[in-house]
Amino acid sequence: MAKAVKPVPEGFHTVTPYLVVRDARRALEFYKKAFGAETKLSMPGPGGRIMHAEIRIGDSAVFVSDEIPDMAPQIKAPESTGGIVTGSIFLYVPDVDAVFKRAVGAGANVIMPVSDQFWGDRFGKVSDPFGHHWGIATHKEDLSPQEIDKRRAEFEKKMAQQK
Q: What is the CATH number of the domain that holds 76?
A: 3.10.180.10
CA distances from 88 to 85, 106, 129 (A): 8, 18, 14
In a domain, 129, yes or no: yes
In a domain, 41, yes or no: yes
Round to whole Å and give the CA distance between 151 and 38.
37
Q: In total, how many domains does the chain have?
A: 1
Closest CA to 50 of 80, 71, 81: 71
Q: What is the pLDDT of residues 8-40, one digit of tens each?
A: 888 899 999 999 999 999 999 999 999 999 999
In a domain, 3, yes or no: no
Q: What is the pLDDT of residues 50-104, one digit of tens each?
A: 999 999 999 999 999 999 888 888 889 999 999 888 889 999 999 999 999 999 9
Q: Is the pTM of this model over 0.85?
A: yes
Report whether 133 contacts 127 (CB < 8 A). Answer: yes
Question: Which SS3 state, helix, strand or coil, does residue 49 take?
Answer: coil
Report whether 151 contacts 118 (CB < 8 A). Answer: yes
Structural domain of residue 75, as residue ranges?
18-162
